[in-house]
């Protein structure tokens, strides 16, 4: 039986000319670049490249490339989603899970290559804090200021809450291991070597847990998350300025994906390369830059979307973006960086400072308490935002700690 919405005649039979290659390319560009509130920031991409290749002011190189990566991250995410739509449910879910945090991966890999372990660790922790407190807080405030209460799927929330707990424990264990070592043994290189080995073992366990979570989400308990997927296209089409029916072909999606990845890599290289100079010229610490500033790069567009979705009372989708991104960082990106450091012989560990792990524990404790009941209101959002502000203020004054492992030649043997 023919679908009533399908045209009876083809475009050629109706006298319409098929789109030329240039017209299709123009439509694709309009679809990608005009469908996001952060798209105007694309103007900073050429500025970032010119200042970077011209080796002008390090501060401006950092600023321009910082602003350039924000919209590029959104383009990368949208190209991935378009490709995932063509690949089917399971493969598409894997694509979104793998490339959902591609910008964080690229920036962190470049920083790791430059042996900026402190930046990598801080940016991982900062991404968790910003998603759990900043984004979640804005979502609760924006969606609940004119409503008595908002509700979301309690089962999905409890599942993500439990995964957050185990991921947090994995980051606490290495720090607790080192903090409880007797003082006269803390400088022993054997202790540092054992922390490195513990971190690598923990990374493998976390990646296995992440793989099983994908199996849970995409196969065995897919129905729990289906409602979120159904809402995604409708909400995003309302936020965009392009026709809802247009979509990219596989070839166009791959072209945008590869081209944007190259641009993000170049801009991230300039960004990371100027961090030491920015630290010297501004007086900011590497910890503050990595923990508060860098996480904005890859998450800004996602954060805006999450908040706008909350305004439309789609809290399941909003929570999925905020908490789901945190899970990807904790269960995939962070352990992947540990193993990547192992591969390139840079000793990346999960040994965060005691202060950092304490802040993470408090953030996860608060966010779990807020989402476990399946309801939210604007006051809960204020709680989250207030805690994030307090943590940001604390890290602004918190001095950098020495990187114990990087300077130890025996740590990787």
16 pLDDT higher than 60: no
Polymer length in residues for the chain: 413
Across residues 265-294, what is the average pLDDT? Answer: 88
Across residues 100-111, what is the average pLDDT? Answer: 84
Greater pLDDT, 119 or 87: 119
Q: Compute CA distances 407 → 47, 91, 108, 400, whole Å.
A: 36, 42, 19, 15
| SS3 (DSSP) at 107 | helix
The helix (H) or strand (E) run that includes residue 412 is none
Across residues 235-259, what is the average pLDDT? Answer: 66
* Confidence (pLDDT) at 37: 73
Half-sphere exposure of 377 (CA within 13 A, CB side): 5
* Confidence (pLDDT) at 171: 80
| Three-point CA angle 258, 263, 268, nearest 5° | 125
173 pLDDT higher than 60: yes
* Confidence (pLDDT) at 14: 47
Kindly tell me the burial class for residue 227, based on how many C-beta atoms sit within 10 Å of its own C-beta (0-12, 13-18, 19 or more). Answer: middle
Chain center to CA of 287: 18
Q: Are 61 and 48 in contact (CB under 8 A)?
A: yes
pLDDT tens-place string over residues 349-389: 888 888 888 888 898 888 888 888 888 889 989 999 999 99
* Confidence (pLDDT) at 408: 45
Q: Are 285 and 120 in contact (CB under 8 A)?
A: no
pLDDT tens-place string over residues 39-57: 788 889 999 999 999 888 8
* Confidence (pLDDT) at 386: 94
Half-sphere exposure of 346 (CA within 13 A, CB side): 21
Q: Are 137 and 384 in contact (CB under 8 A)?
A: yes
* Confidence (pLDDT) at 323: 81
Greater pLDDT, 127 or 251: 127
238 pLDDT higher than 90: no
Q: What residues does each domain of the chain span?
A: 21-397
Kindly tell me the burial class for residue 243, based on how many C-beta atoms sit within 10 Å of its own C-beta (0-12, 13-18, 19 or more). Answer: exposed
Give which of 124, 112, 221 is closest to 167, Cα–Cα.
Answer: 124
* Confidence (pLDDT) at 392: 92
φ/ψ (deg, to 5) at 150: -120, 145
Q: Please, what is the average pLDDT of the chain? A: 78
Helices H / strands E in the chain, number of each: 18, 2
* Confidence (pLDDT) at 233: 54
Checking 44-47 for CB contacts under 8 A at 24+ apart, the result is: 44/68, 44/71, 45/71, 45/72, 45/263, 45/267
- Kind of pairing, strands 375-376 and 150-151? antiparallel
Q: Compute CA distances 72 → 1, 111, 298, 304, whole Å.
A: 43, 18, 9, 14
Measured CA to CA, the distance from residue 302 to residue 227 in angstroms comes to: 19
Q: Provide the terminal-to-terminal Cα distance of the chain, rounded to the nearest Å.
A: 68
Instruction: Specify the pTM.
Output: 0.80
Across residues 80-85, what is the average pLDDT? Answer: 74
pLDDT tens-place string over residues 135-171: 889 989 988 888 888 888 777 777 777 888 888 888 8
203 pLDDT higher than 80: yes
* Confidence (pLDDT) at 224: 61
19 pLDDT higher than 60: no
Give which of 133, 177, 116 is closest to 400, Cα–Cα.
Answer: 116
């Amino acid at each position: 039986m023919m679908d009533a919405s399908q045209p009876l005649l083809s475009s050629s039979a109706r006298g319409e000319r098929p789109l030329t290659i240039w017209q299709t390319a123009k439509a694709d560009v309009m679809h990608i670049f005009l469908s996001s509130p952060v798209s105007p920031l694309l103007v900073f991409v050429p500025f970032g490249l010119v200042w970077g290749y011209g080796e002008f002011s390090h501060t401006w190189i950092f600023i321009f490339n910082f602003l350039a990566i924000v919209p590029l991250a959104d383009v990368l995410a949208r190209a991935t989603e378009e490709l995932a739509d063509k690949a089917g449910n399971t493969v598409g879910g894997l694509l979104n899970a793998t490339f959902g945090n591609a910008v964080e991966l690229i920036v962190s890999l470049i920083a790791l290559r430059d042996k900026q372990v402190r930046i990598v660790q801080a940016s991982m922790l900062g991404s968790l804090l910003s998603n759990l407190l900043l984004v979640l807080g804005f979502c609760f405030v924006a969606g609940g200021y004119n409503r008595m209460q908002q509700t979301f799927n309690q089962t999905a929330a409890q599942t993500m809450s439990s995964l957050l707990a185990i991921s947090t424990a994995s980051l606490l264990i290495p720090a607790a291991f080192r903090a409880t070592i007797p003082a006269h043994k803390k400088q022993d290189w054997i202790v540092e070597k054992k922390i490195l080995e513990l971190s690598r073992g923990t990374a493998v366990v976390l990646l296995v847990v992440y793989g099983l979570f994908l199996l849970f989400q995409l196969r065995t308990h897919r129905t729990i998350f289906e409602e979120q997927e159904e809402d995604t296209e409708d909400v995003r089409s309302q936020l965009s300025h392009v026709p809802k029916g247009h979509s990219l072909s596989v070839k166009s999606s791959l072209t945008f994906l590869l081209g944007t990845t190259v641009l993000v890599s170049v801009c991230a290289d300039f960004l990371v390369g100027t961090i030491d100079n920015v630290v010297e010229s501004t007086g900011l610490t590497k910890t503050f830059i990595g923990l508060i500033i860098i996480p904005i790069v890859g998450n800004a567009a996602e954060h805006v979307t999450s908040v706008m979705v909350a305004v439309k009372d789609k809290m399941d989708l909003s929570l999925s973006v905020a908490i789901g991104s945190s899970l990807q960082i904790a269960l995939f990106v962070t352990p992947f960086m540990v193993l990547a450091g192992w591969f390139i012989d840079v000793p990346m560990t999960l040994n965060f400072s005691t202060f950092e792990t304490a802040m993470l524990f408090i953030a996860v404790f608060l966010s779990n308490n807020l989402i476990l009941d399946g309801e939210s209101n604007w006051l809960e959002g204020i709680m989250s935002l207030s805690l994030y502000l307090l943590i940001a203020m604390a890290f602004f004054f918190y001095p950098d700690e020495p990187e114990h492992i990087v300077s130890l030649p025996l740590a990787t043997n």
